[in-house]
Structure 1
Amino acid sequence: MLDKTQSLSYKLSNSELKDFLDIKVEQYNNIKFIESDPIQIPHTFSLKEDIEISGFLTATIAWGNRKSIINNASILMHLLDNAPFDFVLNHQETDLKKLKPFVHRTFNGDDSIQFIKSLQHIYKNHNGLEAVFSKHANKESMQKAISEFKSIFLNLNIYNAH
């Protein structure tokens, strides 16, 4: 079993890797862990796209105190009418104004608005987050998929359209 004293270059056999991952599933995929972790935010949704968007936005602000992250992610979901996919897809420019006062540490309302616009671009023009990553993923590395996602997400041309 891999522990903190072993080198990161240590190679696990398939059965050791399975055992390790099974232990981690038991550790993290349970209600006791979820109830005090920001992962609880996407767990409140059942629609795949709501889960993706809420998970992405929650992960974006996931630095600092866990209670603060959970509280602010909940506030952000409330600002998105607790329907992040619908809000991302169908918002009007006037709807974005309610995001203006949102702040979590250095992530502010303007950042929130830009993220919503970028996500709308991804869902309307690239078939969603999963599609962007799936299209560019390969078995060896996610580097290309992450790079392509970043390019699409940070495409400044979409901001000039609004």
Structure 2
Amino acid sequence: MMKTLPLLRKRSINSLFELKPYLDEINDHVETTTYIQNDPVQFMHMFHDKRDSEIAGFLAATMAWGRRDIVVAKVDELMRRMDMNPFMFVMNYTSADYERFASFKHRTFKPVDIHGILLGLQNIYRNFKDFEAFWAQCYQKGKDQKRPFLTVFHNDFFSMCDDYELRTRKHISNPENGSTCKRLYMFLRWAIRKNSPVDLGIWNFIPSSELLIPFDVHVARQARKYGLIARRTNDWKTVNLLTDTLRLLNPDDPARYDYALFGIGALGYELPKRFILNRV
């Protein structure tokens, strides 16, 4: 017989605001320039041209699962195979270049997936001013259709590619399949948030207030431990519930608490034990 897990307790509004200064302090400690050197966001900082930066960031975020040091090493390898010139490589890419990636693999991310994503990016740049313009169109279509704009992005991205394997679609999440879309929202955090020593803020199509928190295992565990969410399933509904809670603390920039929750879960920062509500 399977053991029934106890119900999770949710933090009260008053108690939530008691927690806020501690989370803000950890945010301030974690969100510094020293964070960049160990994180895949470094690949956006590597380039001055917006197009290079957004391509490098998108590919880095797409590959960002597993240990950060391994992710950084594999993205660095990918950039080198693209001659450290991502925009020009994308625009000149043909099937003849496929052999460059023949021995490349990161977990389930394989050469065939790189091929499909590069062709999708190439067609986007041929038909839009830049990658942000494509995202902006998806955002508006999502509003018009009353659908998550990341679902529109998922579908429209692959409609821009005429040569990809079906398996490649899993590397770009779709909230209508229940995904938390952690990697896409991590990329958007990098691209959208302003006045940050880490996030570049080079895009403007969506305000920071509408960003959802990138929901990884560290964020999920700490959010439950401290009663920020009372739902055990890691899915689109849960990440929205968590962001709604964090938006009470910072209506203009709820995704900033990604730094605090990641810092507690992965970097050794601690909150006073009296704030623990659940054993997870």
Q: TM-score range by the shorter chain?
A: 0.7 to 0.9
Partners of 1:53 and 1:22 lie apart in 2 by: 32
Match of 1:134 among 111, 133, 136: 136
Corresponding residue for 1:150?
154
Superposed CA deviations along residues 31-55 of structure 1, whole A, max 9, x for unmatched, are 2111111111111111111111111
Task: Pick 1 or 2: higher relative contact order, CA cutoff 8 A, min separation 6.
Answer: 2
Match of 2:87 in 1: 85
Q: 1:102 to 1:134 in 2, by over 3 A?
A: same
Q: Is 1:67 matched with 2:69?
A: yes
CA separation in 2, counterparts of 1:22 and 1:130?
32
Q: Give ranges in structure 2 of 5+ residues lacking alignment.
A: 1-8, 165-280
Moved more, 129-138 or 113-122: 129-138
Q: C-alpha deviations, 1:79-133, integer Å up to 9, x for none?
A: 1110111111122331232022210011011111111111101111233320012
Cα distance in 2 between the residues matched to 1:96 and 1:47: 25
Q: Which position in structure 1 is the counterpart of 2:186? A: none
Q: What is the count of residue pairs matched by the alignment?
A: 150
Q: TM-score, normalised by structure 2?
A: 0.46
Deviation string 1:11-47 (CA, Å, 9 cap, x unpaired) is x9xxxx9xx78974x4454221111111111111111
Q: Deviations over 1:119-150 (max 9, x none)?
A: 10111123332001222325x97954322221
- Alpha carbon RMSD of aligned pairs, Å? 3.3
Q: Which has the larger radius of gyration?
A: 2
Q: Does 1:47 align with 2:57?
A: no
C-alpha distance in structure 2 between counterparts of 1:135 and 1:27, whole Å: 36
What runs of 5+ residues in structure 1 fail to find an aligned partner?
A: none
